[in-house]
Structure 1
Amino acid sequence: MKNLVYVLAAAVLLTACKPEAPKDYVTLSGKIANQNSDSLVVLQRGFSKTIKVNTDGTFSDTLKVKEGVFVINDGTEQARVYLKNGYDLSLYIDTKEFDETLAFSGNGANPNNYLNEKSLLMEKIYDLDALFELDETTFSEKIKTNGAAVKSLLDNAGELDSLFIANQEKEAGMVEVQLRNMYKKRQELSALNGQESVQFTDYENIKGGTTSLSDLKGKYVYIDLWATWCGPCIAEIPSLKAIEKEYHGKNIEFVSISIDKKSAYEKWKTMIAEKELGGMQLYANEDKTFTSAYKVTGIPRFILIDPQGVVVKADAPRPSSPGLKTLLETLDI
């Protein structure tokens, strides 16, 4: 009997000491204060997972993922997260100060806290409208200085795995190339300033009938080129509403032109109603005459035209930029 006890005890010890197999999924949990919706959506190209958020703001779920950067969206705001199978990650957000309060804990916290700190830093050091107004030499110096600040943040982010570091360094290089390309394009677009604007004609107006640019002659026209699938476009909506309200009754028309495909036509109408979009809402119906003339390769894109139909800014500041109000204050509106 004693031998049997020893055998059973040894079996228990062997079982207890057997290494636990690594999890092949991510556990994502946390709490959202002042939640905007009853769900949290985790997105990546080809991947989407909706996580239910309880009435007290708590949530927990598992996800099987391919290691990489994802976007989490609470219905209004969004942030980047780095997910890897085996992580047991917890996050906290207060939506009243989304980016400033976002914090991660648990296994996988280091790379994610770094990503959020990087996002806050990038927002602080990259005012694109101001950056693209610099001369070429000053622009290049600023890009190098900003790149060094981001690298310093990465170097001091704590323990990170080599793949994550390599991807972040690659991303930094891509950002620099993209910014230089954007700067070059901005210089090319400046040639359109002071020229008569190309026309858009008979675009469907959500309030009925059609509208052409010529119908708006006599007013300044601030054009927002957007689409329902464009996250950065949607992020500008609150700022656009605010500037519309401030300039209500003045000699300026705020015109939003959707470049959605015909398949998203109903979604366009629904989003206008749901988000209570103001200004003049037009639908381009896949006409590319206007966007091609303004060399539009990405959205959102903003254009300012004067009452005579002459281009003030072919690449105007976006509503969230202090540069827009500065620009408008120089005009007789």
Structure 2
Amino acid sequence: MNSKRILALLVVAVAATVGGFYAGHVFTGGETVAATQNNGNAVEELWKAAPPGASGTAQPLASFKGKPVVVNFWASWCGPCVKEMPELSALHREYEKKGITFIGLGVDSEKNVNDFLGKVNVDYPVYVTGFGGADLARNFGNNAGGLPFTVVIDAKGVVRSTKLGEVNVAELKRTLDAL
């Protein structure tokens, strides 16, 4: 009986936390105001990073400099992140022909990222940033540290949009079509 009560309280606590996070997205529209951040510095910090790819080999993100890129911060334990991955993969296939690259930055462990990629086909490069990825996301205005968090950077290094929470495919397409 005691363990049932503890379990019930745990379920209520988790539900309240998730509900609060969701309510925050509803009231803010899930958007982060990128224009108020010093995004030039954020982009430069991103290009300086050299996180390991899923294979474990360090990959300098500077190789994406000068190209339009969609950066998606995610984690394997994040339900909305996992849910949007197939949509992001489909968008990557569609927009890769137009020179736009998607990259995933796993705010997670290498093992979790690789286990996830073993189950879910992701067509774009995925890197493992661990919790350091949260610092990179904060540079773009994600002060809440929530996931998923998506940033669109144009070829000149200008942040065109940021989105905290699951992407809206139609909105993302409008942004990408304007690049």
TM-score between both structures, scaled by the size of structure 2: 0.74
Match of 1:303 in 2: 151
The superposition leaves residues 248-297 of structure 1 with CA deviations (integer Å, 9 ceiling, x where unpaired) of 3321110000011xxx4212111112101120100113324412312332
Between structures 1 and 2, the one with greater strand share: 1
Match of 2:63 in 1: 215
Q: Which whole-Å CA distance do the structure 1 matches of 2:88 and 2:130 have between them? A: 23
Q: Which moved more, 1:270-279 or 1:206-215?
A: 206-215
**Larger relative contact order (CA 8 Å, sep ≥ 6):** 2
Q: Which whole-Å CA distance do the structure 2 matches of 1:319 and 1:300 have between them? A: 8
Match of 1:267 in 2: 112
Q: Which whole-Å CA distance do the structure 2 matches of 1:229 and 1:184 have between them? A: 19
Paired residues for 1:46-195 under 5 Å: 175=23, 179-180=26-27, 182=28, 186-187=32-33, 189-192=34-37, 195=40
Q: Which whole-Å CA distance do the structure 2 matches of 1:317 and 1:281 have between them? A: 19
Structure 2 CA distance for partners of 1:184 and 1:228, relative to 1, 3 Å: closer
Structure 2 CA distance for partners of 1:320 and 1:207, relative to 1, 3 Å: farther
Q: CA deviation at 1:208?
A: 5.5
Pairing partner for 1:251 from 99, 111, 136: 99
Number of residues of Structure 1 aligned to a counterpart in Structure 2: 166
Match of 2:172 in 1: 324
Q: Which whole-Å CA distance do the structure 2 matches of 1:236 and 1:307 have between them? A: 24
The superposition leaves residues 291-311 of structure 1 with CA deviations (integer Å, 9 ceiling, x where unpaired) of 231233210000011112221
Secondary structure in 2 matching 1:315: strand
Secondary structure in 1 matching 2:118: helix
Q: Which whole-Å CA distance do the structure 1 matches of 2:30 and 2:169 have between them? A: 20
The superposition leaves residues 302-321 of structure 1 with CA deviations (integer Å, 9 ceiling, x where unpaired) of 00111122211233895443
Q: Is 1:279 the equivalent of 2:124?
A: yes
Q: Which moved more, 1:289-298 or 1:251-260?
A: 289-298
Secondary structure in 2 matching 1:282: strand
Q: CA deviation at 1:324?
A: 0.7
Q: Which has the larger radius of gyration?
A: 1
Match of 2:86 in 1: 238
Q: Which whole-Å CA distance do the structure 2 matches of 1:304 and 1:206 have between them? A: 22
TM-score between both structures, scaled by the size of structure 1: 0.43
Work out the percentage of aligned pairs sharing the same amino acid. Answer: 23
Match of 1:126 in 2: none
Q: Which whole-Å CA distance do the structure 2 matches of 1:292 and 1:254 have between them? A: 19
Q: Which amino acid aligns with 1:279?
A: Y
Q: Which whole-Å CA distance do the structure 2 matches of 1:247 and 1:291 have between them? A: 23
Question: Unpaired segments of 5 or more residues in structure 2?
Answer: none
Question: Unpaired segments of 5 or more residues in structure 1?
Answer: 1-23, 25-45, 48-64, 72-79, 81-166
Q: CA deviation at 1:330?
A: 1.3
Between structures 1 and 2, the one with greater helix share: 2
